[in-house]
């Protein structure tokens, strides 16, 4: 099952095409709507003020409520765009954003408004695709869950701590990053391989790094392994009614690039939102000189809360590939 996301932040619509879907999957639109609602903008002071309903319109691949097995295509209309806020970004790239690299990659012909195709807005169709993937996985007994494990350096923050840290950064015209920890349960032992392109960590990482702002991925204890001895890091095996399991899951359910039957667990690090209202140093691409930039427009002071369903979506799509769907 492969997907391609299309559209731009301020274009008429964004969307996704899913190819290789199994036929006959009941498309639970209430579940899909609930997943979309977790990411929708404009919910509170911690998110962008842009308001979009993010209601997907299915154009193909579904008949009488079930997938046909042919490509499934859905679009999400853009209805609340303030393109004038981004006029200066035609020649003044935002530090930390993909404005400059996109300008070079597409020879200056890219849509710069709101970040164009590089915008976090494009994660809306990814959540739709992930919701469909979760429905496929549900029939195989596989589930994907995630939680916010860090915001602004605060481990396992309470909602109150998270809100305070985000709003404090917003008040100072700044932003904060964080981490999301995710678990995929129900995957059988023996999936994947140690080979390039087929190992479990590689498959998941490819999907996760396609999410804007993801800068690091660690499986199991991740970076924590560096401080341990082997006796501490190893996961002892035992028999659970004849099934081989491990008493700990430091390796995140993966050994040698292959699932070991335990939950596949990983943590992603998301950078602070690069679009901040503080004055920053940049260059004027048209004049060929250094310049200063003050960014206007509507942006999240922290993308972590809205990124949670996005990371789950990427993990669900990766799990489908791992299962050969």
* 299 labeled part of a ligand binding site: no
* 222 labeled part of a ligand binding site: no
User: Minimal CA–CA distance to 31: which of 130, 98, 122?
Assistant: 130
Output the CA–CA distances (angstroms, integers) from residue 71 to 12, 15, 58, 234, 323, in the order listed: 22, 13, 11, 43, 19
* 179 labeled part of a ligand binding site: no
Three-class SS state of 133: helix
Contacts 24+ apart (CB under 8 A), 51-58: 51/80, 52/76, 52/78, 52/79, 52/80, 52/121, 52/124, 53/79, 54/124, 56/15, 56/32, 56/125, 56/128, 58/27
Torsion of CA 218, 318, 13, 135, to 10 degrees: -120
State the greatest distance between any 2 C-alpha atoms of the chain, in Å, as a whole number.
71
* 298 labeled part of a ligand binding site: yes
* 118 labeled part of a ligand binding site: yes
The count of other CB atoms within 10 Å of the CB of residue 197 is 8
For 10, how many CA atoms within 13 A lie in the half-sphere containing its CB? Answer: 16
Q: Which residues of 159-183 are buried (b: 16+ CB within 10 A; e: fewer)?
A: eeebbebbeebbeeeebbbbbbbbb
* 113 labeled part of a ligand binding site: no
Q: Give the residue numbers of the binding site.
A: 39, 117-119, 256, 298
Q: Give the residue numbers of the binding site for FMN.
A: 117-119, 256, 298
Q: Give the residue numbers of the binding site for NADP(+).
A: 39
């Amino acid at each position: 099952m492969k997907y391609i996301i299309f559209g731009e932040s301020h274009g008429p619509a964004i969307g996704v095409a899913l190819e290789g879907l199994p036929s006959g999957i009941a498309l639970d639109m209430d579940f899909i709507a609930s997943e979309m609602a977790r990411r929708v903008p404009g919910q509170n002071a911690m998110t962008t003020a842009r308001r979009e309903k993010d209601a997907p319109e299915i154009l193909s691949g579904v008949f009488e409520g079930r997938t046909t097995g042919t490509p499934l295509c859905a679009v999400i209309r853009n209805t609340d765009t303030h393109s004038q806020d981004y006029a200066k970004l035609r020649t003044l790239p935002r530090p930390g954003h993909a404005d400059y690299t996109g300008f070079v990659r597409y020879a200056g012909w890219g849509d710069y408004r709101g970040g164009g195709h590089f915008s976090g807005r494009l994660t809306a169709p990814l959540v739709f695709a992930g919701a469909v993937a979760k429905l496929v996985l549900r029939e195989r007994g596989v589930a994907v869950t995630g939680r916010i494990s860090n915001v602004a350096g605060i481990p396992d923050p309470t909602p109150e701590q998270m809100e305070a840290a985000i709003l404090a950064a917003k008040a100072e015209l700044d932003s904060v990053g964080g981490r999301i920890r995710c678990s995929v349960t129900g995957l059988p032992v023996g999936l994947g391989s140690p080979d390039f392109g087929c190992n479990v960590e590689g498959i998941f990482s490819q999907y996760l790094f396609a999410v804007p702002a993801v800068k690091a991925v660690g499986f199991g204890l991740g970076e924590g392994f560096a401080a341990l001895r082997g006796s501490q890091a190893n996961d002892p095996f035992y028999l659970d009614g004849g099934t081989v399991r491990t008493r700990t899951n430091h390796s995140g359910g993966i050994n040698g690039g292959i699932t070991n039957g335990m939950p596949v667990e990983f943590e992603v690090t998301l950078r602070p939102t690069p679009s901040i209202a503080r004055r920053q140093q940049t260059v004027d691409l048209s004049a060929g000189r250094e310049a200063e930039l003050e960014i206007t427009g509507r942006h999240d002071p922290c993308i972590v809360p809205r990124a949670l369903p996005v990371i789950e979506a990427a993990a669900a799509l990766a799990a489908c590939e791992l299962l050969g769907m």
